[in-house]
Amino acid sequence: MEMDRILILTHNLPDGDAIGSALALTTGLRQKGKTVRATWSGELSSCYSILTDAYEEEDFEPEHIISVDLAGVHLLPADTKKYGEMIDLAIDHHGTNTGFAKESLVVARSASCAEIIMDVIEEFGGTITPYIGSCIYVGLSTDTGCFRFNNTTPESHMRAARLAMLGVDISNLNQLFFEQKARARIEIERLVLDSMEFTEEGKICFITITREMMDKTGCLESDIEGLASIPRSVEGVEAGITFRERPNGNWKISVRTKYLNAAKICSYFGGGGHTFAAGCECSGDLFDIKVAMIDIIKREMNA
Ligand SMILES: [Mn+2]
């Protein structure tokens, strides 16, 4: 591992896996005496402070760039887009990774990027401290919906068991990330449930998160993580779709399915992701987008 002066990038609207992967890798590389900095965009909800409070910023001119949990350079936040062509190594678990980096470590079978990071740190001789383990656990547990989603593998459970043995306070992290909710989050759930619509005899469910709802409740982008799993949780729903209004007026669309190929559905709209959880972004009238989405999903249902 000859790299030094490393900048670690991750995707826009970072989730637990993005933050956990970036901080775990940064800390692991620092153990090896490397100069490393992680970047992420936007304000994070308060549960992340258990990870970010211990992070110390370092200022330097980066010579090498690593991306984590990043499927394509179009997903980089505006302030790191300029590095898109210069990424030396991509560590990722998205099967749709576009191969933008000079070298790629993509393990599509891995439920989270954080699990790959755990292996990488151990391979280069780093120690999984309780702090690094906490970062990994946050990535692993959030990307698997606390081990409920069907991307969860036996290895996910085995790694979590090892993290517990290494001193990670798993029950505290579960409490922070899966039990406790910001007041604003509960308020927006109330509004989002009110937006719920069903079509195709209840097989397709839509929810909508508007800027107005965000403003009214004071939710941060990171407060609404996981809302996209609500529509699929309804009995009988085969495709749960979440429309989220971006500040620029575009619609960020999350598709969650039980057996349909969500990545394929999203590919018709220029997006991608995992088999049962994928996303895309559309501009234009929301009603028209819904009609187009229903059309594609029906085609997949009959395929
Ligand atoms: Mn991930």
- How confident is the model at residue 225, as a pLDDT? 82
Tell me the CA–centroid distance for residue 278 and ligand 1, in Å. 11
pTM for the structure as a whole: 0.83
Buried b (16+ CB within 10 A) or exposed e, 213-229: bbeebebbbbbbbbbbb
Tell me the CA–centroid distance for residue 142 and ligand 1, in Å. 9
Tell me the CA–centroid distance for residue 88 and ligand 1, in Å. 19
- Decide whether 6-179 matches 183-302 in CATH topology: no
CB atoms under 10 Å from CB of 132, counted, come to 25
- How confident is the model at residue 233, as a pLDDT? 94
204-258 per-position pLDDT tens digit: 999 999 999 999 999 988 888 889 999 999 999 999 999 999 999 999 999 999 9
Please provide the DSSP assignment of 89-152 as one string: EEEE--TT----SSEEEE-TT-S-HHHHHHHHHHHTT----HHHHHHHHHHHHHHTTTTTSTT-
- How confident is the model at residue 182, as a pLDDT? 87
- The overall average pLDDT reported for the chain is 96
Tell me the CA–centroid distance for residue 200 and ligand 1, in Å. 30
52-106 per-position pLDDT tens digit: 999 999 999 999 999 999 999 999 999 999 999 999 999 999 998 999 999 999 9
Tell me the CA–centroid distance for residue 47 and ligand 1, in Å. 18
Q: What CATH number labels 183-302?
A: 3.10.310.30
174-185 per-position pLDDT tens digit: 999 999 988 999
**Percent of the residues in the chain that have a pLDDT greater than 70, as a whole number:** 100
Tell me the CA–centroid distance for residue 292 and ligand 1, in Å. 27
Tell me the CA–centroid distance for residue 30 and ligand 1, in Å. 23
- How confident is the model at residue 147, as a pLDDT? 97
Residue 140 binned pLDDT confidence (cut-offs 50, 70, 90):
very high
**Do 196 and 205 touch, CB atoms closer than 8 A?**
yes
Tell me the CA–centroid distance for residue 249 and ligand 1, in Å. 25
Domain 6-179 falls under CATH 3.90.1640.10: yes
Q: What is the average pLDDT across 130-137?
A: 98
- How confident is the model at residue 223, as a pLDDT? 85
Domain boundaries of the chain, sorted by first residue: 6-179, 183-302
Q: How far apart are CA 14 and CA 69, in angstroms?
A: 9
